[in-house]
Amino acid sequence: MSDGAGTGPERESERAAGGETEPEPEPKPAPEPKPEPKSAPEPEPEPEPAPEPEPTQKADPLTDAFVDEWAVSTIVRTIVPLLIVLSALQMGSGAVLESFEEQLLEQPSLLVLVPVTIGTAGNLGSIMCARMSTQLHLGTLEFSLDNRNVRANVGAVFGLAATVFVLLGFASWGIGRVLGGTLGLVPLLTITIVSGALLAVWVVVVSSVSVYASYRFGYDPDDTTIPVVTNVCDITGVLILFAVVRVVLGP
Amino acid sequence: MRGYDTAFDVYRQALPVVLVSLVAGLFAGTVLGTEAMRDGIESVPGLLLLLPAFLATRGGVYGSLGARLSSGLHQGLISPTFEWSGRLRNAIVASFVNGMVVSVFIAVLAYAVLFALGRSGSLLELVLILTIAGFLSAVTMLGVLLTVMFKGYRRGLDPDNVIGPVVTTVGDVFGVVFLLVAVAITEAVL
């Protein structure tokens, strides 16, 4: 956080689109510096048996090929296989939840942690990826810790994680109390802060690796990384959370 | 002029979205932690097992619908008003089909995992719960997403920036609530 606060407002308006940090890809920048752009609007990049023909942004909106992209069967055939793979993977974190069933039922605070951890992991991952892919398109990103953008991204992810997980510690304690749990504030804060910190490190690693890999393999990271990273972070978020729960509360 | 954002700039811009999602997650978590939901979890084997998959596929189905509609709006392929025809209808029907197919698949998969783990569970019960929950969230998500995107677009909001937060917050909150409703309905029926 070097010369931060002062120049805020002007910067924000300048960067209307490019600096947004929403968990969705920005309005697509003109595909420039990537080797062989391959853009598919569907949010999953797994290799697909029947990939759509390239729905390039520049395509004439009236051609038949383009209208077919909007056919019900095309959309269903593209999305369903991806979601089936995804839900099979999510069974992994479901199995972890299931194995903690007794503790979860006894301590509602722990149940409160689950959706927030999943959501925050995905959010931080998509912020990281959206920013890195935009910076890659703009040519201002290098994969090095000396890069100002890299440091700003990483710093922001840590700051956001710290904010969310400290608040989460207090909130889950309060809500758990109301719902009849007995877990104390100290163990809950320990759980949320430790798992938040681990999650932030993990988000940074996964996002950087996937943006870099996507770039190296010639895919536009705008299209490929967010779905992969949010799902990976969702699933591993639960694993990290319950690994920490086990250490803090004992088996 | 700096050509980059500092960590603090990024933090400040992202904080509102992250905090909204925190509140939504806390709400979803509170619903999960209620007596009624805990009873449901206890009496329906497999409910915790399918919870992450159920929540995640909401994002997959309606996030991709949002991304598609957003590109369509930007390209002028669809207009920002609700009409039951052409591309818009296709996109809506397809997301509905996607949502229902995947919900039923998750129920079957959860049953298979329970079976593989040597636990007992009721396939009918799980399928019924997820069909109801999938249907209720499809109707809600489609309604909210289309309303927010079209209204926002007509007021000059870039739908790309709206979909993510809308899908995750609405999806989480309603996903868990509808799962609870579906458990209650199923227990009353069976």
Looking at B75-123, which runs of residues are DSSP E strands? none
Per DSSP, the three-state class of B119 is coil
Q: How far apart are CA B130 and CA B150, in angstroms?
A: 29
Looking at residue A222, its pLDDT comes to: 76
Mutation target vs B (from A69, A83, A166; most B CBs, 10 A cutoff): A83
For B31, the token pair is: 């619903």
pLDDT in tens, B138-170: 999 999 999 988 998 888 888 877 787 788 788
For residue A3, what pLDDT is reported?
Answer: 38
Confidence class for position A23, pLDDT limits 50, 70, 90: very low
- Nearest-Cα residue of chain B relative to residue A131: B10
CA dihedral A74, A77, A78, A84 (to 10 degrees): 160
Given this model, what pLDDT does residue B3 score?
61
Distance from CA of A217 to the nearest CA of B (A): 23
Flag if A21 and B101 touch (Cβ within 8 Å): no
Query: For the residues of chain B, what is the DSSP string, one character each?
Result: --SS--HHHHHHHHHHHHHHHHHHHHHHHHHHHSHHHHHHHHHSTTHHHHHHHHHHHHHHHHHHHHHHHHHHHHHTSS-SS--SSHHHHHHHHHHHHHHHHHHHHHHHHHHHHHHHTT----HHHHHHHHHHHHHHHHHHHHHHHHHHHHHHHHTT--HHHHHHHHHHHHHHHHHHHHHHHHHHHHHHH-
Q: Which residues of B touch A2 (CB under 8 A)?
A: 6
Interface of B with A in 76-105 (CB under 8 A): 76-77, 86-87, 90-91, 93-95, 97-98, 101-102, 105
B106-115 as b/e, with b when 16 or more CB fall inside 10 Å? Answer: bbebbbebbe
Band the pLDDT of A79: cuts 50, 70, 90.
confident
Assign B47 a pLDDT band (cuts: 50, 70, 90).
Answer: very high
Average pLDDT, chain B: 89
Most confident residue range from A4-13, A45-54, A95-104? A95-104
DSSP 8-state secondary structure symbol assigned to residue A143? S
Helices (DSSP H) in A8-147: which residue ranges? Answer: 8-14, 64-68, 72-99, 101-106, 108-138
pLDDT tens digit sequence for A178-211: 999 899 999 999 999 999 999 999 999 999 999 8
Residue A5 confidence (pLDDT) above 50 = no
d(CA A166, CA A169): 5
CA atoms of B106 and B49, how far apart (whole Å):
10
Q: Do A80 and B110 touch (CB under 8 A)?
A: no
Q: Which of A28-42, A140-154, A157-171, B46-60 has the lowest mean pLDDT?
A: A28-42
Q: For residue B91, give the nearest of A70, A95, A123 by CB distance.
A: A70
Q: What is the pLDDT of residue B156?
A: 86
Question: Across the interface, do B11 and A156 touch by the CB < 8 Å criterion?
Answer: yes
Selected residue with higher pLDDT from B42 and B169? B42
Asked if B10 lies within 8 A of A153 by C-beta distance, the reply is yes
Radius of gyration, alpha carbons of chain B: 19
Specify the pLDDT at position B130. 97
pLDDT bin (cut points 50, 70, 90) of residue A247 is very high
pLDDT of residue B2: 57
Please tell me if residue B179 touches chain A, with a CB cutoff of 8 Å: no
Say if the Cβ atoms of A27 and B158 lie within 8 Å: yes
Please tell me the distance in Å from B143's CA to the nearest CA on chain A.
Answer: 19
Q: Is the pLDDT of residue A58 over 70?
A: no
Q: What's this model's pTM, rounded to 2 decimal places?
A: 0.77
**CB of B94 closer than 8 Å to CB of A76:** yes
**Residues of chain A found within 8 Å of residue B105, distances taken between Cβ atoms:** 83-84, 87
What pLDDT, on the 0 to 100 scale, is given for residue A137?
82
Q: What integer is the mean pLDDT of B174-183?
A: 94
- Which member of B17, B49, B60 has the closest CB to residue A43? B60
Q: Residue A73's pLDDT band (boundaries 50, 70, 90)?
A: confident
Would you say the ipTM is above 0.90? Answer: no
B188 min Cα distance to partner chain A (Å)? 22
B74-101 confidence digits (pLDDT tens)? 888 888 888 887 889 999 999 999 999 9
- Chain B residues with CB under 8 Å of A149 CB are 4-5
- Select the residue of A7, A84, A105 nearest B41 (Cβ to Cβ): A105
Whether B60 and A180 lie within 8 Å, measured CB to CB: no
What is the average per-residue pLDDT within A7-32?
42
Average pLDDT over residues A55-66: 47
Contacts of B69 in chain A (CB under 8 A): none
Q: Measure the CA–CA gap between B68 and A78, rounded to whole angstroms.
A: 13
- CB distance B21–A67 less than 8 Å? no
DSSP, res A26: P
In chain B, pLDDT over 90 holds for what percent of residues? 52
The tens digit of pLDDT for each residue in A112-170 reads: 999 999 888 888 888 888 888 888 888 888 877 778 888 888 999 999 999 999 999 99
Which of B5, B94, B95 lies nearest to residue A19, judging by beta carbons? Answer: B5
pLDDT band at A215; cut points 50, 70, 90: confident
List the single residue in A86, A123, A149 with the smallest CB-CB distance to B18.
A123
- A101 by Cβ neighbours in 10 Å (0-12 / 13-18 / 19+) ranks as middle
Q: pLDDT band for position A16 (50/70/90)?
A: very low
> Over 80: is that where the pLDDT of A60 sits?
no
Average model confidence (pLDDT) for chain A? Answer: 77
Q: Assess whether pLDDT exceeds 70 at residue B56.
A: yes
Identify all chain B residues contacting A22, using CB atoms and an 8 Å cutoff: 17, 160-162, 164-165
With a cut of 50, say whether residue A59 has pLDDT above it: no
Share of chain A above pLDDT 70, in %: 73
Per-residue model confidence (pLDDT) at position A122:
84
pLDDT exceeds 60 at position B135: yes
Contact A12 B13 (CB under 8 A): yes
